[in-house]
Amino acid sequence: MSVGTSGRIVVEIDPGVKRDLYTALSREGKTLKGWFLSRAEEYICDSGQLSIFERDHDSDAESSNRTEE
């Protein structure tokens, strides 16, 4: 993935999805930039937190190895 230094993000999506997204954002009085920045900030903040639903695959492998012994 190429990451430049300009601050621009370019994403190619299906034209129908683009139209539907702009329609939904318009109904809520939001802009794509505002919505994206809000979601990005939320994602960044949440990505450092562990979910109680995530499983640690390394410990699962270790526990299954113990039961096989």
Domain residue spans of the chain: 15-68
DSSP string covering 8-69: -------HHHHHHHHHHHHHTT--HHHHHHHHHHHHHHHHTSPPTT---HHHHHHHHHHHH-
39-55 pLDDT, tens digit each:
999 999 988 776 676 55
- Mean pLDDT for 31-44 is 95
Return the amino acid letter for 1.
M
Predicted pLDDT of residue 63? 47
